[in-house]
Structure 1
């Protein structure tokens, strides 16, 4: 059974240059206890999709479609009803902890505030629970670190604090936005292991451009490009048998696969290419790719791809 069912989701913003179609008719499902990686280049709409789920987009944004969480459409809830879900049942681990953490509050107090809000614990109990979450996040000397300010912690420590804060109220569904961004290789490996351990038994959407990290953590991977899902399959299939040319190129661009970048650059979300949005950069583009927009084609074993070659 799907814990989260996203149906024909669209999200757009007005800009001086025109309407930015950040998310275009996305369909996704995340099952109970399943971790889905949402992969794509910067600016493809990944974070907007995540913020749409938790309804933290600015009021000027237009959102259409359905986001069904445990049988209820999140887009139809009142702001108060949504506030009751945020943090308690649906939590988001924000990217860039340096700007996400409050610089004038001790990190333990910031975690304790989340616990008090959603669990109704007193100040002392909440602080003790915050220290326990820091210990679970493998932060040494957790009690001492809880009384420190964000600027006193390393980048990796701050990321651990963000993970501890996001999971403090034991949410059923977690959205992790670029949790390994900007970390050195050793710290990234530690954070990958931590997220994998601490999200076991939970449903998660991991938003990232780091395909290798998603492959280690996630059960399935969906590949996003220019506001659309281009391919979706098990993590193993995406890494070892990708069918969409964009996914193939994305994998070839990894350091471990030879570091061969995809030619060209991502298209504008204001005026995307006609037909297949990837066709200007695709080495296999045909005439039909330039004029007709491909639909997601179901292959086998839950694998689907938005490409005429697969048909």
Structure 2
């Protein structure tokens, strides 16, 4: 069963220099109990897509398309209806816990506030539940930690708190935005294991530039570039048999593959290149790539690529 069906989603932002097309005609499906990784460089539109789902973009954003969640179009819900879903049914684990956590509130109180809001528990019950969530997030001495402030915790501990907070109301669908960003190798491995355990039985969209982490956590991976999906397949297929030149270059840039960067830089989202948006950086560019915008081509079951080489 499809948990979330994103159809022709656009998220554009007016600026003095023109319209920034951060998300441009994206189609994406996430199944019940499936974990999907959304991969791309900084500025590719990943976080904007996540914020579009929970409708937390600024009022100036122009959002069009359809996002069908459990049979309801999220873009057609009233703000009150969306508020009831946000946090309870659909939760987001925000990136950069240092700025996302309130520095003047104890972490236990911050988690308890979420629990009280969405589960209707009293103050004492919510606080006890917050301690349980910290324990589930493998935070030692959870009861003592609940009385601490964010500045008293390490970066890895803060990330665990964000995960505990995001999952405190037992959401059906979780959006995790760069959960492994800025962590050392040991802490990242611990967070990956924690996410695997705590999101079991839930649908998840993992937004990240860390392809290796997504490969460990996710069932399927979609590759985003300049606001559009370039390739989509099972995680193992993406890592072992990538078909789009951008995905191939992205994999070669991993530390395990020798850190070979993709030449050039990401295109303007105001005035993207004609034809294929990756063609100015592509080592296999053909004339048709410069003239005509490629459509997604289904290669085999569950594997699609937006590239003329696949024709």
TM-score by length of 2: 1.00
3-state SS in 2 of match to 1:121: coil
1:105 deviation in Å?
0.2
Q: Aligned with 2:290: secondary structure?
A: helix
- Aligned partners of 1:283 and 1:98: how far apart in 2? 40
Cα RMSD for the two superposed structures? 0.4
Distance in 2, Cα, partners of 1:164 & 1:88: 13
How do 1:267-286 residues align onto structure 2 when only pairs under 5 Å count?
A: 267-286=267-286
Query: Distance between the aligned counterparts of 1:44 and 1:259, measured in 2?
Result: 20
Shift of 1:15: 1.3
**Structure 1 residues 51-70: aligned runs within 5 Å:** 51-70=51-70
- Deviation of 1:14 after TM superposition, in Å, equals 1.1
CA positional deviation for 1:289: 0.1
Q: Work out the CA distance in 2 between the residues paired with 1:14 and 1:139.
A: 43
Matching residue of 1:236: 236
Structure 2 partner of 1:305: 305
Find the counterpart in structure 2 of residue 20 from structure 1: 20
Aligned to 2:139: 139
Q: Equivalent residue for 1:210?
A: 210
Confirm or deny that 1:181 pairs with 2:181. yes
SS state at 2:5 partner: strand
Deviation of residue 303 (structure 1)?
0.1
Q: Secondary structure at the match of 1:11?
A: strand
Aligned to 1:195: 195
Aligned to 1:9: 9
Report deviation, 1:17. Answer: 1.2
Q: Give the Cα–Cα distance (whole angstroms) in 2 for the partners of residues 167 and 16 of structure 1.
A: 39
What is residue 40 of structure 1 aligned with on the other side? 40
CA distance in 2, matches of 1:272, 1:29: 25
**Alignment-derived partner of residue 112 in structure 1:** 112
SS in 1 for 2:204: strand
Residue 285 of structure 1: how far off its partner (Å): 0.3
Q: Which residue of 1 aligns with 2:78?
A: 78
Matches within 5 A, 1:248-259: 248-259=248-259
Unaligned runs of 5+ in 2: none
Aligned-residue offset at 1:284: 0.2
Separation (CA, whole Å) in 2 of partners of 1:158 and 1:259: 29
Offset at 1:75?
A: 0.2
Instruction: State the distance in 1 between where 2:173 and 2:196 align.
Output: 14
Matches of 2:197 and 2:251, distance apart in 1: 25
Distance in 2 (CA, whole Å) between partners of 1:258 and 1:243 is 20
Structure 2 distance, partners of 1:197, 1:190, is 11
TM-score (norm 1): 1.00
Partner of 2:293: 293
C-alpha separation in 2, matches of 1:138 and 1:282: 44
Whole-Å separation in 2 of the counterparts to 1:107 and 1:20: 37
Task: Give the SS at the match of 1:299.
Answer: strand
Gaps of at least 5 residues in structure 1 are: none
Matches of 2:161 and 2:143, distance apart in 1: 13
Write the distance in 2 (CA, Å) between the matches of 1:172 and 1:164.
15
- 2:151 alignment partner in structure 1: 151
Structure 1 residue 38 displacement after superposition = 0.0
